[in-house]
Structure 1
Amino acid sequence: MRHLSTALATLYAGLIYLFIFLPVVVLVLFSFQDGTLPVPPLNGLTLRWYQAIFADGKLMAALGNSLIVAVISSAVSCVLGFLAAYAFARHTLRGSGFLRGVLVAPMTVSTLIIALGLLSMLNVTGVRLSLWTVGIGHVVINMPLCFAIIYASMGGHQANIERAARDLGARDWQVILLVTAPMLMPSILAAFFLSVTFSWDEFIVAFLLSRFDVTLPVEIFSLLRSGLDPKTNAIGSVVFLVSIAFLVAMEIAVFRKSGRSS
């Protein structure tokens, strides 16, 4: 009976992984299709579609834009989230529970609603749409995530260490930079890499808040409007590979920091 339960659990887990990753496997497989349509049967393997996307100036520019927006907006989100978490964890504020709820509220709101609201606000204020406005939108949707991750890791033992640093003559900014931030570095890195991953793949905000300089998901959408071909599969595979690279970097950085701190 025990072996049967183990076998059923293994089968169930395998079906879940198959359901999740089968579309990705098909996407990657047919990115090597030696034909003009990414549909069965597989007519041999080729790398020409990858050569085509790396030779495409618009795709490479969109790729660079995505990396720039993801890294900068995630860094800003982490800084703002860290400062907000420090304020709520170390200071008594009137209505702090309500304020925390307001701060994390964007996590429960559709990105379409957020993007439309930002678009209306930018139109009213006369701000031109650009990569900067896309970055602002990504900060709005990623900062609550960074705040939640960092705030959850701020405990009482860290407050004791901060008080000890102040007793030894450290100023508040020195405590934040030299004591609190290093102690919370695993959480800060986790928040940063998750924000980069979400920003890298995000489409709705990038589509509504950009104009001429677009990110990679928006450029892929414009390619899909002309029909499917192995080139779109190839760029989709590259997007998936970069996302996995970000997650692996997060795992390495966070576990290494956690191992050192323990």
Structure 2
Amino acid sequence: MILRMLPWAYLLAAFVFIYLPVGTLVLFSFQEGSLPVPPFNGPSLRWYGDILGDDDLTGALLNSLLVAFGAASVSVVLGFLAAYGLARHVLPGSAVMRGLLIAPLTVSYLIVGLGLLIVITRAGLGLSLVTAAIGHVVINLPIAFAIIYASMGAQQQNAERAARDLGASEAQVIRLVTVPMLMPAIAAAFFLSVTLSWDEFIIAFLLTRFDVTLPVEIWSMLRSGLSPRLNAIGSLVFLVSVSVVLILELLVFRRRR
């Protein structure tokens, strides 16, 4: 009996270890007092109303959404084109090309951010949300490429050949056959890129100046100490991330099953 309970006890301990910090953060975001410490005094929506009425925070939130969706869109388009070219055409050095496309996954975000900062500064470009989005494309493109490339199997290739035999042009094959068949992988790459870009801090911190993303704004607030406002912001960020995962599960993985 005890041996049967051990796996469940281990699973419960793992979930508590993972979600206890998040649960504590969410709980004390409803704290009525000005300090996010026990004893709990609430519940209250005071701090949610406070952050939603803060122009700097709402502006940073919109900036994060803009950068996340923009960078994810560009990453998925470029990743799809690279995956299609390397999977459907025999190119010299294709293995090297695949390795170079995936290589940024092994590099620290700090190194990527510093390298981009040097290049952008030397090029005379100003730091902005655009440069932050470029940095997020650099880190999301390898992930999008890997997900889409791994889904390009013989089934899609046979359907593409059949479409060509029936007179479809290359553009029609991609638009009417390849993209619909790869839509679950494309959607998975897009939502994962959105999630990674949404809460990324190091590159956004290095490549922005006046218009900042939400993680950078949160970091600037942390310098003045902890407060229930930070808990409320963290809860909203967690809610958005969980919503993206749920959408991915409902629209992509369930459809595939």
The TM-score with structure 2 as length reference comes to 0.98
Match of 1:240 among 238, 241, 253: 238
Consecutive unaligned residues in structure 1, runs of 5 or more: none
Which residue does the alignment assign to 1:195?
A: 193
Match of 1:212 among 186, 202, 210: 210
Give matches, 1:1-262, under 5 Å: 3-259=1-257
Q: How far 1:41 moved relative to its partner?
A: 1.4
Q: How far 1:257 moved relative to its partner?
A: 3.6
Counterpart-to-counterpart distance in 1, 2:205 and 2:85: 34
Counterpart-to-counterpart distance in 2, 1:19 and 1:191: 28
Q: Is the 8 A contact 1:115 1:205 kept in 2?
A: yes
Aligned residue identity for 2:95: G
Q: How far 1:256 moved relative to its partner?
A: 4.7
CA RMSD of aligned residues (A): 0.9
Q: How far 1:45 moved relative to its partner?
A: 1.9
Question: Percent identity of the aligned residues?
Answer: 62
Counterpart-to-counterpart distance in 2, 1:137 and 1:253: 28
Q: How far 1:173 moved relative to its partner?
A: 1.1
Counterpart-to-counterpart distance in 2, 1:160 and 1:34: 62
Consecutive unaligned residues in structure 2, runs of 5 or more: none
Q: How far 1:43 moved relative to its partner?
A: 2.1
Secondary structure of the structure 2 residue equivalent to 1:251: helix
Aligned residue identity for 2:219: F
Q: How far 1:44 moved relative to its partner?
A: 2.6
Aligned residue identity for 2:206: L
Q: How many positions carry a matched residue from both structures?
A: 257
Secondary structure of the structure 2 residue equivalent to 1:234: helix
Aligned residue identity for 2:237: V
Q: Is the 8 A contact 1:129 1:209 kept in 2?
A: yes
Secondary structure of the structure 2 residue equivalent to 1:214: coil
Q: How far 1:218 moved relative to its partner?
A: 0.4
Counterpart-to-counterpart distance in 1, 2:93 and 2:151: 21
Runs of 4 or more consecutive aligned structure 1 residues displaced over 6 Å after TM superposition:
none
